[in-house]
Structure 1
Amino acid sequence: MLNPLRRFRAVRPVPGPPPPDGEVLLDARGLTKSYAGADGELPVLAGVDLRVRAGEIVAVLGRSGSGKSTLLRCLAGLIAPSSGTVSYRGAPLTGANQGTAMVFQTFALLPWLTVQQNVELGLEARGISARRRTEAARQAIDLIGLDGFESAYPKELSGGMRQRVGFARALVVEPDVLLMDEPFSALDVLTAENLRGELLELWESGLFPTRAIVLVTHNIEEAVLLADRIVVLGARPGTIHTTFEAGLERPRDRQSAAFAGLTDRVYRTMTGRTGGAEAARPGLAGTPLPEAGVDGLAGLADLLAHRGGGCELVELAEDLGLELDGLLPLADALELLGLAEAGETDLVLTGLGTAFAEADVRGAKRIFAEAVREVPLVRLIITSLQENPGGTVRAAALTELLGRHYTSEQVVRQLETATDWGRYAELFAYDADRRAYRLEERGLSAP
């Protein structure tokens, strides 16, 4: 798709990006957010202090469960904090923040409305007249390069085009701050790269009708490429762990030593390996299990074995054409199971991990079974089944127990991971229709 900036540059001056004048647009002070759990409140954010100033792009990074999206929704006024305040231009929010607009990961378009109608939604909600809505929406659609598709429905558009509609819908209200929740993660690599480039061009051109951007992402390189300031959240509950000032001129060269150095520093902070590995072994009330399927674990172990037993994860991700963040849960899982040891930037197979990678299918299963028995949630399922000979354990009982320590989304992911690992190890069977576990009679070894 042709870059829409080419048309605008021919008819209007290009003043450049909004100057970083220091005006505080958003100000979160002592922001805490908790959700109700079976045994009380489940903290998601705790004591977050964050200021967003005019003229800057702020990226918010953090692992799954760190509260990134919750923070963004609090800034938008879509979620009220449990304590602390969020202010827009010095005034505490009491509802939706009229100075912000959001772009979502899942596009969030209404399928029964056309592109034009979807873009007009925000203006209609603000009581703008039909004539002014139509004119403003067409300008926004033209700006993001979708002119000619005004009458198309979302089902007629590719993923990249749908996200362009999402951008147009947010920009048409001319927000002071554009909030973006992993806006490129649902797109293929080339489409995402193209949209990032166009976003930066619009920002640098002065055509962007917004004064600041807050981007939630799981992609470290994306944050380093786009942001002036990178905020890394710790997890359980989410707090600001570290803030990095990018200090890199645009356009940014991904091959430069400065770019690589900042990426590496952020990576070390994200993985918690700034001064040695964190040997965190998740418990029922501790760190959530990594979202890592058995096939991915075995594949990563095999790749490490073929590289002499270990390598740097950044290098491996580049060689595979993957995002680094996609490897982190797999690396955490191998470390959790005692199959690998993590350094500051690399991952090395242990003796057990090497045996796992080199074994045949049955041998690998036996090794995995012994390792996975030590995982608290898997051990809980096995123990519960042993205490109920010939019986079953329903997933609902485990859901209730986990709900005391995790959000509902985390509970689902925990059980999916534990179920996948236990079934592969033939430690127990799972009936998806009844949502119940039973001991695996033909297991590799008796529990």
Structure 2
Amino acid sequence: MIDSLRTNAPLIEVEGLTKSFPAADGTIFNVLDAIDLTINEGEVVALLGRSGSGKSTLLRTIAGLIAPTTGEVRYRGRPLNGANPGAAMVFQSFALMPWLTVQQNVELGLRAAGLPNDECRDRALAAIDSIGLDGFETAYPRELSGGMKQRVGFARAFVLSPDLLLMDEPFSALDVLTSENLRNELATVWAQPSFPTKSICIVTHNIEEAVLLADRVLVLGTNPGRIKTEVPISLPRPRDRHSLSFEAVVNELYASLTGRGEAEPAPTDVIATPTTNPLPDASVGGLAGLVEILHAHNGSADLPALAADLLFEIDDLLPLIDAGTMLGFLSVTGTQAHLTPLGVEWTTADIQRSKEIFASQAMARAPLVGTIVRALGRSVDGALSDDFFRDLLRRSYSRSRLEKQLDLAIDWGRYSELFDYDSISGELAITSSDLPDPKERKGNAATPT
């Protein structure tokens, strides 16, 4: 039961927050837009979203580690102008100092606060004992397993007795059994009156993790990150992941993440461009594997069940789903994925026919692939430097996302034999069979006189 000292008073208020970063070419890359949220005492809030949704950036603005571009973050009613004095963070990467012992790592925040040596020692030893590492006080991080390192990260946060514990995918770097164990331990200690913090905000891409831990789940969309759905979790603790009510919440969140609920018809009046419709982060081979699995399941599968069977996380599965729907091979309703007749034909056709199907769909429905093919077709010799396409994309994407988009387009285009790519020269060229006749290039410039 939550400690009666934990009230429902707001700890954190985020109002009208946006966050932008300068791209390498001097343009602006928008990460977060129009974020409004409140974190109250006595609750666990999960920020759930795909990679690129800005959830970690949002967590860091709440921590006061980065400032919003516009809008405001308030802690107990006061605007933040630096590090949040009531928050402590647990990171995915453990973030331990390798030259310090376990005890010294845990004492870091206390010593930075100027507390006496004896108090630093006593509080650190108590925190180490509370997370089950008694006896490892003098060990160095290199001597610890991943789970033990993350326990040190928890102790370092708990020892400060913060109002708000911020956790950035704290279990994602651990093996399945270790992460499950630590997840359950966190849920157990949170329910104890002696838990040294009033609220928790956790970033995750694992839906079941969010449902196991959170009282509310905020689902972030992408490009830029916005809160698209808030789902309250009213299930009693401890939560049974095998119960029908648990599965129902998981399914609701899956539907929100896929963005294809029955109440969300796709817009028909928007012209798709390489900017508005970026390529999903999915290789042709990965997409082919997913389509084959669905075909083996009689053309239909429940996404939560499929992810569990394949040991996929949501960030692994959803880009493949997005690629399949973009190309018309899949349709998604709620949490159900279905192969379309074209998807069945693609996965059962011979190699050449499957390439032809993919080429036709990529040209029609993958804007960047179509843009590349049309540009090559309008060049003098059917070839262009990859830098040409970088220049076209650089105002819309950060450098890393630009390179990823170009890599994906090249993968899709080469598979479907729409164009070739020479990685040494950086030249893209229409495949030889598709090159225009010399007499037809650039008007009649090549016509003999």
Q: Give the TM-score normalised by structure 1.
A: 0.87
Q: CA deviation at 1:392?
A: 4.6
1:320 corresponds in structure 2 to: 310
Q: CA deviation at 1:238?
A: 2.3
Task: Give yes or no for the alignment of 1:24 onto 2:10.
Answer: yes
Alignment-mate amino acid for residue 356 of structure 2 = R
* Residues 318-374 of structure 1: per-residue CA shift (max 9 Å, x gap): 333433453211111101111112222211112221122113444433332333334
Q: SS at 1:205's partner residue?
A: coil
Q: CA deviation at 1:230?
A: 1.1
Alignment-mate amino acid for residue 416 of structure 2 = A
- The 3 A distance-change label for structure 1 pair 29 and 187 is same
**2: CA distance between counterparts of 1:223 and 1:392?**
47
**2: CA distance between counterparts of 1:272 and 1:422?**
27
**2:50, 2:314 within 8 Å by CA — same for their partners in 1?**
no
Q: CA deviation at 1:100?
A: 0.7
Over the matched positions of the two proteins, sequence identity in percent amounts to: 51
- The 3 A distance-change label for structure 1 pair 110 and 408 is farther
1:226 pairs, out of 194, 197, 213, with 213
1:66 corresponds in structure 2 to: 53
**2: CA distance between counterparts of 1:360 and 1:131?**
74
Superposed counterparts of 1:16-165, under 5 Å = 17=3, 20-37=6-23, 38=25, 40-165=27-152
Task: Give yes or no for the alignment of 1:300 onto 2:290.
Answer: yes
1:382 pairs, out of 365, 370, 373, with 373
**1: CA distance between counterparts of 2:278 and 2:246?**
31
**2: CA distance between counterparts of 1:115 and 1:175?**
20
Task: Give yes or no for the alignment of 1:371 onto 2:361.
Answer: yes
1:423 pairs, out of 402, 408, 414, with 414
- The 3 A distance-change label for structure 1 pair 398 and 70 is farther
Q: CA deviation at 1:252?
A: 0.8
Q: CA deviation at 1:178?
A: 0.7
Q: CA deviation at 1:45?
A: 1.8
Alignment-mate amino acid for residue 297 of structure 2 = R
Alignment-mate amino acid for residue 9 of structure 2 = E
Q: CA deviation at 1:408?
A: 3.9
1:188 pairs, out of 160, 175, 189, with 175
2:440 corresponds in structure 1 to: none
User: Structure 1: any 5+ residue segments left out of the alignment?
Assistant: 1-14
- The 3 A distance-change label for structure 1 pair 97 and 409 is farther
- The 3 A distance-change label for structure 1 pair 24 and 357 is same
**2:329, 2:340 within 8 Å by CA — same for their partners in 1?**
yes
**2: CA distance between counterparts of 1:180 and 1:409?**
25
2:442 corresponds in structure 1 to: none
Task: Give yes or no for the alignment of 1:275 onto 2:267.
Answer: no
Show structure 1 runs of 4+ deviating over 6 A. none
Q: SS at 2:170's partner residue?
A: coil
1:239 pairs, out of 226, 236, 240, with 226
1:290 corresponds in structure 2 to: 280
- The 3 A distance-change label for structure 1 pair 127 and 312 is same
- The 3 A distance-change label for structure 1 pair 257 and 153 is same
**1:277, 1:344 within 8 Å by CA — same for their partners in 2?**
no
Q: CA deviation at 1:16?
A: 5.2
**2:2, 2:193 within 8 Å by CA — same for their partners in 1?**
yes
Alignment-mate amino acid for residue 181 of structure 1 = D
- The 3 A distance-change label for structure 1 pair 207 and 349 is same
Q: CA deviation at 1:157?
A: 2.6
- The 3 A distance-change label for structure 1 pair 32 and 277 is closer
Structure having the higher Rg? 2
**1: CA distance between counterparts of 2:418 and 2:96?**
43
* Residues 168-203 of structure 1: per-residue CA shift (max 9 Å, x gap): 222222211011111112222211111100111111
**1:288, 1:410 within 8 Å by CA — same for their partners in 2?**
no
Q: CA deviation at 1:391?
A: 5.1
Superposed counterparts of 1:333-348, under 5 Å = 333-348=323-338
* Residues 367-421 of structure 1: per-residue CA shift (max 9 Å, x gap): 32333334222233334444263755235x5445433223344334323332332
2:385 corresponds in structure 1 to: 393
2:397 pairs, out of 402, 406, 416, with 406
**1:385, 1:392 within 8 Å by CA — same for their partners in 2?**
yes
Q: Give the TM-score normalised by structure 2.
A: 0.87
**2: CA distance between counterparts of 1:57 and 1:425?**
47
1:174 pairs, out of 158, 161, 167, with 161
- The 3 A distance-change label for structure 1 pair 442 and 19 is farther
**1:119, 1:168 within 8 Å by CA — same for their partners in 2?**
yes
Q: SS at 1:404's partner residue?
A: coil
Task: Give yes or no for the alignment of 1:264 onto 2:251.
Answer: yes
**2:210, 2:217 within 8 Å by CA — same for their partners in 1?**
yes
Moved more, 289-298 or 272-281: 272-281
**2: CA distance between counterparts of 1:271 and 1:394?**
32
- Aligned residue pairs total 430
Aligned alpha-carbon RMSD (Å)? 2.7
**2: CA distance between counterparts of 1:292 and 1:94?**
40
Moved more, 62-71 or 364-373: 364-373
* Residues 16-42 of structure 1: per-residue CA shift (max 9 Å, x gap): 546551111111111121223457533
- The 3 A distance-change label for structure 1 pair 299 and 21 is same
